[in-house]
Structure 1
Amino acid sequence: MNALPTQARAVIVGGGIAGCSVAYHLTKLGWKDVVLLERKRLTSGTTWHAAGLIAQLRASKNMTRLAKYSQELYGELEAETGIATGFRRCGSITMALTEARREEVLRQASMARSFGVEVHEVSDAEVRELYPHVNTEDMTAAVHLPLDGQGDPANIALSLAKGARQRGAQVFEGVEVTGVDQDRGRVTAIHWRRGDETGTITTPNVVNCGGMWARDFGKMAGVNVPLQACEHFYIVTENIAGMTQLPVLRVPDECAYYKEDAGKILLGAFEPVAKPWAVDGIPADFEFDQLPEDFDHFEPILEQAVSRVPMLAEAGIHTFFNGPESFTPDDAYHLGPAPELDGYYVCAGFNSIGIQSSGGAGMALAHWMDTGLPPFDIGDVDIARMQPFQRNKRYLKERVSETLGLLYADHFPYRQKATSRGIRRSPLHNLLAENGAVFGEFAGWERANWFANEGQEREYRYDWGRQNWFDNQKAEHDAIRNGVGLYDMSSFGKIKVEGPDAEAFLNHVCGGDMSVPVGKIVYTQMLNVNGGIEADITVTRLSETSYIVVTPAATLVRDMAWMRRHVGDRFVVLTDMTSAEAVICVMGPKSRDLLKAVSPDDWSNEVHPFGKAREVEIGMTLARAHRVTYVGELGWELYVPTDQAAHVFEVLWQAGAPLGLKLCGLHMMDSCRIEKGFRHFGHDITGEDHVLEAGLGFAVKTAKPDFIGRDAVLSRKEGGLQMRMLQFQLTDPDKMLFHAEPILRDGEIVSYVTSGNYGHTLGGAIGMGYVPCAGQSVAEVLDSTYQIEVAGERVTATASLKPLYDPKSERVKV
């Protein structure tokens, strides 16, 4: 038995395909002293029983890039390692049975084209030619991706492990990690046990690739990895005479997928209500185990499958398989550095797409560990998006019972989760509910997305066109544009930065100039060394040694971690103040009139100009009024102690009646902001998007001597922009934009829509997106014909570099 080392540069915990991929890619980057520890045997958790589907297309450009990388890697592994991976490009077909699903698959096909994935819409006759055994009588549409593939999951993992070994990695089976040491916020060592033998490996880097064990292993080090195992079912038929290679067939309306494998058919399911497994802990001896059969649970899927592929009625069942796989609260896997502990990384929670994802995920994480940044934006799966409460077992049990089924449910825009709701509530929640609020969930927060009229149902009716709240959004939008509206943004993340070095610290991590008077609000970004946008924030100076940083709800954990990692030896204290203050936004041309009615303070432009914060009286209490806007109108954000928020709301609501004050939701905020061309972090701007190309150069002050990203900003100024962010409006007022629709310039796909919504004032769907501009003037970029492809149809669009609504911001600063 080989002795374990006493030190390593990195210790990877978990020998499934994810851990093997991380080890492979770290050694490929030249890392030495890489150790992989597996509690039982390689692949013995989930990898060994995975179906092995290897698709290219995911829901965003960069997730697709990772999936395509996995495909290319698996196709080359056998030649490198000599272990057959079973990889073959058999293609895939996705079949729609409803009009809603038809719209979805055609939109997915358009998205695929914008991401460079080969895709073809196919007729029912073409489907039967590709898959002769399928019943297409009720098919409404289908798409074919000829380069999708399948492979042998266990052998792919073993091949990756062998590749890592060939470059010096050490792989040990039968070794359990029993503890993780840390000192001053950084990993220092792990403790292990192998039979009766114990030991320690000192290391600055630990990678949690624990699969369904990752949550409990993370807890050991105080790291949040929210995931939960669910039972996952499939059957494998007996050999079918004459069966030849077939594409993978997905019929999401029947929750089913079909894979031909060595003359048999594997039928798998993503049933609407899943069965969480081992909520209170996985058995210690679990290894290559199957779970008890539950044919009653699977039977509805099988009944539909026999009608869809009639040959199944004659084929005997060779295997009924039930095995556990881990699922996360939002159906996206966990990747990246843990925000709680430096040197601790996570690669886990793959939601039944671990085989197609792990190649790319391992590559991305190895790059991140090697350089300090991912190879491109991976915000969709960044572990720092998770909120601390989400590791709660009851929460996870409820949520994953839904998220497994959502993989094959209709992916309607604005679809809300139904389970594990009502956890984080604003102090105004009940007041808003009493007045018709329809809530959506965001980072656990219940937020009013729209307000129902009296007698109107308070539910979403999902659609790819105008949903049932479209007219409600329009009325709220109109109130903001022409009158006065109130909406609740208590979910804002609020970080207090205090200490004698607060100014110097913020000047280092922010592109804007923080050497401003008390009361000044600075809109700025935190940049990475490449000039990419790591955070989009406002920073308000409260005193000589104190600032408040306001950030989106979903990025609070991430932004706190980014700031903490760059404090260095400065005397600064960071405090999460999110729950201490509610935020009530009063916006619109009549907002000044409303605030004058409830406050003795002077709200004039001279006394309270745009970009200023000050203490004010409202009703019988005090608030801090920030004159800023994300909707493109005159208005204020009122920061109120949480215990006094209800009072301020009631005072405003009563005084607003004569002015026609309207309660508004977050759908309104998004439609107003996109008319004004305001960027949305995570969609329009990410760590991959250069701040100058995003059109935000005005928020960066290069006269400052030292801030993260300064050299990259100066370099891009000198070398010229490669991309420009444009705003688009469809000329057809009935079409809708959401995201990822292809942008065509003079007939050629050049990019995709990063975010979209309907512009009620402008009278059409509005989208944002980057277009290439290397060596071109603004006039040359705009002097082109633009179209946007919507579900396969090319729709003419007007393009603008300046905001389509109020381009000079005259309404904001009146």
Structure 2
Amino acid sequence: MTNLPKKARCVIIGGGVMGCSVAYHLTKTGWTDVVLLERKQLTCGTTWHAAGLIGQLRASANMTRLAKYSADLYRGLEEETGLATGMRQVGSISVALTEARKEELYRGASMARAFGVPVEEISPAEVKERYPHLNIEGVKAGVWLPTDGQGDPANIALALAKGARARGAVIAEGVKVTGVAVEGRRATSVSWEQGGERGEIQAEHVVNCAGMWGREVGRMAGVNVPLHACEHFYIVTEPIKGLTQMPVLRVPDECAYYKEDAGKYLLGAFEPNAKPWGMNGIPEDFSFDQLPEDFDHFEPILERAVNRLPMLAEAGIHTFFNGPESFTPDDAYNLGQSLEVDNFWVAAGFNSIGIQSAGGAGMALAEWMETGEKPFDLGDVDVGRNQPFQGNRHYLFERSKETLGLLYADHFPYRQKATARGVRRTPFHAQLEAQGAVFGEIGGWERANWFASDGQEREYQYSWGPQNWFANQAAEHKAVRENVGMYDMSSFGKIRVEGRDAETFLNHVCGADMSVPAGKIVYTQFLNSTGGIEADVTVTRLSETAYLVVTPAVTRPRDQVWMQRHAGEFNVVVTDVTAGEGVLAVMGPNARTLMQKVSPNEFSNDVNPFGTAQEIEIGMGLARVHRVSYVGELGWEVYVSSDMAGHVFETLWEAGQELGLTLCGMHMMDSCRIEKAFRHFGHDITCEDHVLEAGLGFAVKLQKADFIGRDAVMRKKEAGLEKRMLQFRLSDPEVMVYHNEPLIRDGKIVSYLSSGAYGHHLGAAIGMGYVPCRGESAAEVLGSVYEVEVAGRRVAAEASLQPMYDPKSERVRM
């Protein structure tokens, strides 16, 4: 008989390194009645065959924080538990075989310095000194990270499990989870079986750590967990005479990584065209299993590897390994509170970085579960970023062919996914395509990013400098600044909030005052208890009992659930209406002239001032226009029901010809918004950025009734700011910035750019970033000398607290 409890505070499903880490960290916070259920044996899915690379530099500051935490944790586990983790700080070297990769590595090195990770750019000769076995033919440069390491994946997981058991966790092997019962928005119990015995555990919380089974376990509770297994290949050589401890070596241009272990080499690959696996489900008895060899698939990697590491030519192959690992649609793992069920949590889909991520991810999730709020910004990996359709099997199959290889592909700015495209199209897609649109994808939405000119290739040609669409973006930017441009905003989320208590409810959720007349548009944020920004939205009052909340495209599901979770006893209904309306933005000094040509309605400041909406006739149809702007110009967002969208597009386009109307894309919008210092949610403002430090105090009304975060705003006003958001213009007009470039103040790195883009009107790259300012006045902050580090080079930058373009916002009120 299985001796499992009938009740638990938390049931964890899955006994890989992630499940063991969550159990370890929950018990460390004081949770004692934690139960982990593993269908076979601990580590039997993916963990046991992981390569065990412990890299610390990730794509954002918080992901790096989690990776660094993992490395520190693993170093101390052996002393705590008595189990060897094999953790060794051997360092790592990444080498570039192209100038583009060199730029990427050097930008990454600059980013490492901003995040506090030791790093050194090294020449080919210095690469050879540190890695004498390497053939440096074609090597342009390298980057050395001395604190990276490697470990024994299975023993790390078992040590975490032992630590959890020592603090009271129950870890049961050979117990298969068969279901998760859900009532309303809460999971109530987990059903299990072992042999012929069945039972259930009532649970206050459930955590899905099921790895490549994560999608199916999520579906037991009605939770979307997009991931798909792919085949991952590596070989292990016979012992090589004279081979001693070496750093981890990565040669991404050859899709390869190398790890020395006990005098043998492990050579692994992240090839461009991956092989999805498990399309019909994972076999019931899968445990410590390998997949069939496919030497033909691996051979091109091996051929390049023998040239790059000549000693491999004489080494025998001891093991040719093929095992499955799970990949998500965007190569970021799934962590956090599910959108669908309030006490169902997810930690799955680690894209071959599970070992280096598990310690930090387990810590972050445990803190989130303990406090009910994210410990810091986890937007990169928050499971709530996923769109409902992304759980579709066919979609995941097609996308996973690409995502494995993207780990080692060039990480160019603006790089677009090539697979699983065309799923979500706006009502204007066909018209924009006919006019030369080049589409990008976000959250499944196909969005016109830029418009090709006659004869120009309608595709991205990537680089770290100005790309092939740079001049197109400049022309679109110029049109919006000087004449009139039109672009598609249909992908932005539209959430209707209606009911008797709509005004009171939104005043509780939003920082700004929602007690406004019908037709008024309010810019506001949803705040958390620390004053951090959970959402950045506009709210339009449609009637006494109805409002429209407009959100960024990707955050719509998360923002909607945020409102639903805080609805409590309020009499409101929250509904996604995104697909019901198309939206065309008409922006620029001649926007009013164009609107007057297509509608008999009045668009003057007296009738339709900035920040108001009105119903209009347009062409032979009807629409609602919102006078707001994310580009800093006079303009209207035209909301039209999807059935009339085609007609309204044709009406505006035809009427705009004699005005020189220009179709524009999302890249133009980004360059214009950064000139105006408009914040971008997810980069410039996140859940850990205080609304006052973000410079958005004007959007908070402390005089109104209590709202979420009000106390934190009051405390910050009294205590003073710890940091300020500044705008920067680089002195060298040839340099491009994107995000995470180090910010240097008076010779010292103090922060990094949260976002960056080229400002065509201002004539240089523009960045946004926070600067520490405790006890300083605005004049003192601006009195310093600022630089931005780009690929190891420091570039002078002008700093400003107010927008460098139209600081008084006179143009939007023309």
Q: Secondary structure at the match of 1:132?
A: coil
Are 2:22 and 1:22 equivalent residues in the alignment? Answer: yes
Identity within the alignment, %: 72
Structure 1 position 544, deviation (Å): 0.7
Structure 1 match to 2:805: 805
Amino acid at match of 1:616: I
| 2:410 matched residue in structure 1 | 410
Question: CA–CA distance in 2 between the matches of 1:130 and 1:373?
Answer: 44
Q: Determine the C-alpha separation between the residues in 1 that align with 2:25 and 2:512.
A: 37
- CA displacement 1:733-764 (0-9 Å, x = unmatched): 00001010000000100000000000000000
Q: What amino acid is the match of 2:31?
A: W
Aligned to 2:785: 785
Q: Match of 2:562?
A: 562
* Corresponding residue number in structure 1 for 2:698: 698
Tell me if structure 1 keeps the 8 A contact 2:628–2:636.
yes
State the partner residue of 1:732: 732
Distance between the aligned counterparts of 2:776 and 2:297, measured in 1?
60
1:2 positional shift: 4.7
| Residue identity opposite 1:286 in structure 2 | F
Equivalent in the alignment of 1:660: 660
Residues 25-424 of structure 1 mapped to structure 2, 5 A cutoff: 25-424=25-424
Q: Secondary structure at the match of 1:625?
A: strand
Deviations 1:14-73 (A, max 9, x none): 000000000000000001210000000000000000000000000000000000000000
Per-residue CA deviations over 1:293-346 (Å, capped at 9, x if unaligned) read 000000000000000000000010000000000000000000000001110000
State TM-score, norm by structure 2: 1.00
Measured in 2, the distance between the counterparts of 1:54 and 1:375 equals 23
CA distance in 2, matches of 1:570, 1:175: 42
Alignment partners' CA distance in 1, 2:802 and 2:301:
52
Q: Partners in 1 of 2:275 and 2:490 — Cα distance?
A: 35
Give 1:131 shift: 1.1
State the distance in 2 between where 1:560 and 1:374 align: 17
The separation in 2 between residues aligned to 1:351 and 1:345, in whole angstroms, is 18
Partners of 2:372 and 2:132 lie apart in 1 by 50
- Between 1:249-258 and 1:698-707, the stretch displaced more is 698-707
Contact map agreement 2:507 2:705 (CA 8 A) in 1: no
- Secondary structure in 2 aligned to 1:204? strand
Q: CA separation in 2, counterparts of 1:99 and 1:573? A: 54
Alignment partner of 2:331: what SS? coil
In the alignment, does 2:671 pair up with 1:671?
yes
Q: How many residues align?
A: 814
Whichever residue aligns with residue 491 of structure 2, its letter is S
Q: Answer whether contact 2:743 2:789 (CA < 8 A) is retained.
A: yes
SS in structure 2 of the partner of residue 779 of structure 1:
helix
> What is the one-letter code of the residue matched to 1:456?
Q
CA distance in structure 1 between the aligned counterparts of 2:119 and 2:407, rounded to whole angstroms: 20
Q: Distance in 2 between matches of 1:210 and 1:279?
A: 17
- 1:469-512 deviation per Cα after TM superposition (whole angstroms, max 9, x unaligned): 00000000000000000000000100000110111111111101
Q: Which residue of 1 aligns with 2:4?
A: 4
**Shift in Å, 1:5:** 0.4
Matches within 5 A, 1:572-591: 572-591=572-591
* Cα distance in structure 1, aligned partners of 2:464 and 2:122: 21
In 2: Cα distance, 1:280 partner to 1:489 partner: 38
Instruction: Give the letter aligned to residue 550 of structure 2.
Output: V
- CA distance in structure 1 between the partners assigned to 2:2 and 2:486 by the alignment: 67
- Alpha-carbon separation, structure 2, partners of 1:624 and 1:9: 50
Q: Does the residue aligned with 1:203 lie in a helix, a strand or coil?
A: strand
Q: Distance in 1 between matches of 2:97 and 2:150?
A: 24
1:764 is aligned to 2:764: yes
Give the aligned residue type for 2:6: T
| Cα-to-partner distance string for 1:721-742 (whole Å, 9 max, x where unaligned) | 0000000000000000101000
Q: Which amino acid aligns with 2:660?
A: G
TM-score (ref. length: structure 1): 1.00
Structure 1 counterpart SS, 2:554: helix
CA contact (8 A) 2:111 2:740 kept: yes
Q: In the alignment, does 2:476 pair up with 1:491? A: no
> 1:746-765 residue pairs with structure 2 within 5 A?
746-765=746-765
Q: Distance in 1 between matches of 2:433 and 2:386?
A: 26
How far residue 712 of structure 1 moved from its aligned partner, in angstroms, is: 0.3
In the alignment, structure 2 segments of 5+ residues that lack a partner are: none
In structure 2, give the amino acid aligned to 1:686.
Answer: T
Distance 1:131 1:237 in 2: 18
Q: Which residue of 2 aligns with 1:456?
A: 456
Name the SS for the 2:403 alignment partner. helix
SS at match of 1:205: strand
Contact 2:209 2:346 in 1 (8 A): yes
Kindly provide the CA deviation profile for residues 159-208 of structure 1, in whole angstroms up to 9, marking residues without a partner as x.
00000000000000011111111112111111110111101101121000
Letter in structure 1 aligned against 2:149: G
Shift of 1:137: 1.8
Q: Which residue of 2 aligns with 1:438?
A: 438
In the alignment, the residues of structure 2 paired with residue 122 and residue 663 of structure 1 have an alpha-carbon distance, to the nearest angstrom, of 45
Query: d(CA) in 2 for partners of 1:237 and 1:147?
Result: 26
Secondary structure of 1:265 counterpart: strand
Q: Residue 665 of structure 2 aligns to which amino acid in structure 1?
A: G
1:611 lines up with 2:611 in the alignment: yes
| Cα distance in 2 for residues equivalent to 1:204 and 1:558 | 22
Structure 2 SS opposite 1:554 = coil
In 1, Cα distance between the equivalents of 2:186 and 2:706?
26
CA contact (8 A) 2:484 2:589 kept: yes
Opposite residue 445 of structure 2, the aligned amino acid is W
Q: Which amino acid in structure 2 is aligned with residue 458 of structure 1? A: R
The DSSP-based 3-state class of the residue aligned with 1:187 is strand
Amino acid at match of 2:267: L
CA distance in 2, matches of 1:280, 1:330: 22
Alignment partners' CA distance in 2, 1:705 and 1:507: 7
Q: Which runs of 4+ in 1 moved over 3 A?
A: none
Q: Structure 1 residue 705: deviation in Å?
A: 2.6
SS at match of 2:204: coil
RMSD between aligned residues: 0.6
Deviation at 1:704, TM superposition (A): 1.7
Deviations 1:371-395 (A, max 9, x none): 0112110000000000111111111
Deviations 1:685-706 (A, max 9, x none): 0001000000000000111231
Q: For the residues of structure 2 that align with 1:225 and 1:560, how far apart are their CA atoms?
A: 18
Give SS of 2:649's match.
helix
| Secondary structure, aligned partner of 2:602 | coil
Distance apart, 1:125 and its partner CA: 1.9
Q: Report how far residue 796 of structure 1 moved.
A: 0.3
State the AA in 2 paired with 1:326: S
Q: Counterparts in 2 of 1:466-477, with a 5 A limit?
A: 466-477=466-477
Q: Is the 8 A contact 2:417 2:441 kept in 1?
A: yes
Q: In the alignment, what sits opposite 1:638?
A: 638
Shift, 1:638, TM fit: 0.6
